[in-house]
Amino acid sequence: MLIGAASRQLRTGDVDVWLTSLKDVGPAQQLACQQLLSEPERARWQRFLVPDARLQYLVTRALVRTTLSKYADVPSTAWAFETNDHGRPHVSPRHGVSDIHFNLSNTRGLVVCAVSRNDEIGIDVETIARDIDVDAVAPTVFAPEELADFRRAASEHRIERFFSYWTLKEAYIKARGMGLSLPLDGFWFELDDPSPVLHVSDRCPDAPERWRFYRCAPTAGHRMAIATVAPMGDEPSIRSNWVAPV
């Protein structure tokens, strides 16, 4: 369930989600964010030519640094990160905080950071106000079962259905930490139950019963999905927090 502000203590299985609205990040905040970047992050930030993408990257890097420092005695500027073989970032082992895991997502207007004691955590956020032909894109990203359900939806509901599937699939892929080595049509979701239900084929081996999925609309123009694992019968708490990046 979604509840209010999170404490800095995080129980095993729970997920804290930290959200920053980019419209609230003015020049002073942007300057403060820049001070937190590592040299490689600063170099990458400077290579962004599109202002919106440039701001998203800056705030994302600042948010993950300040957020992680809520859970461990490490200065925001000191965090070091590494990636696995599929490019998923994680906290460097040198910090000695192997039980703190995070996942990030950003889109036009919004940046989010999910934190968990569990390393299988994934989050995705998307703006629904974007120039996209969902009828053309759906066959390229959905499994046949999802595509059939999407096409049965009335035209006025297709945008909502599309982003429900899209965010869930992205969150699951990110939680698995295997990138697009997981075939998009090798797993699919049912949306009719109160909670999304995962199905997998032999091309995407997994135990669906261990997963929990959550969907919400953090703003009227955004849709978000979270993927995490928990023992059967256990319902993790998903705690949402709106913050400034610094």
More confident residue, 10 or 215: 215
| pLDDT one-digit tens code per residue, 107-117 | 999 999 999 99
For residues 18-45, give the mean pLDDT: 97
Task: Tell me, yes or no, whether 81 lies in a domain.
Answer: yes
Q: Which domain holds residue 28?
A: 12-242
| pLDDT tens digits along 162-185 | 999 999 999 999 999 998 889 999
According to the model, what pLDDT value does residue 8 have?
67
Whether 1 is in a domain gets the answer no
- Our count of domains for the chain comes to 1
Q: Could you tell me if 173 and 180 are in contact, meaning their C-beta atoms sit under 8 angstroms apart?
A: yes
Q: Is residue 57 part of a domain?
A: yes
Q: At what angle do helices 144-152 and 134-141 cross, to 10 degrees?
A: 160
Average pLDDT score over the chain: 94
Does residue 6 belong to any structural domain of this protein? no
Does the pLDDT value for residue 7 go beyond 50? no
Tell me, yes or no, whether 7 lies in a domain. Answer: no
Whether residue 3 lies inside any domain: the answer is: no
78's CB contacts (< 8 A; 6+ apart) are: none
> Residue-wise over 88-115: b if at least 16 C-beta within 10 A, else e?
bebbeeebebeebbbbbbbbbbbbbbbb
Q: What is the pLDDT of residue 12?
A: 81
Q: Which range (26-35, 201-210, 233-242) has the least confidence?
A: 233-242
Judged by average pLDDT, the poorest of 3-12, 75-84, 196-205, 231-240 is: 3-12
Question: How does residue 231 score in pLDDT terms, banded at 50, 70 and 90?
Answer: confident
Minimum mean pLDDT among 62-66, 204-208, 233-237: which range? 233-237
Is residue 145 one of the residues assigned to a domain? yes
Spatial separation of the C-alpha atoms in residues 111 and 127, rounded to whole Å: 11
Strand 89-91 relative to strand 101-107, pairing: unpaired
Q: Let me know if residue 156 belongs to a domain.
A: yes
**Rounded average pLDDT over 74-97:** 96
Give the CATH number of the domain where residue 150 resides.
3.90.470.20
Return the structure tokens found at 94: 């040198």
Tokens for 48?
A: 């962004």
Give whole-number Cα distances, 1 to 71, 136, 162, 216, 226, in Å.
Answer: 21, 34, 23, 11, 12
pTM of the complete model: 0.95
H/E run at residue 39: helix 39-47
pLDDT number for residue 84: 95
The structure tokens listed for 1 are 């369930």
Give the bridge partners for 102, in sequence order: 115
H or E stretch covering 198: strand 197-200
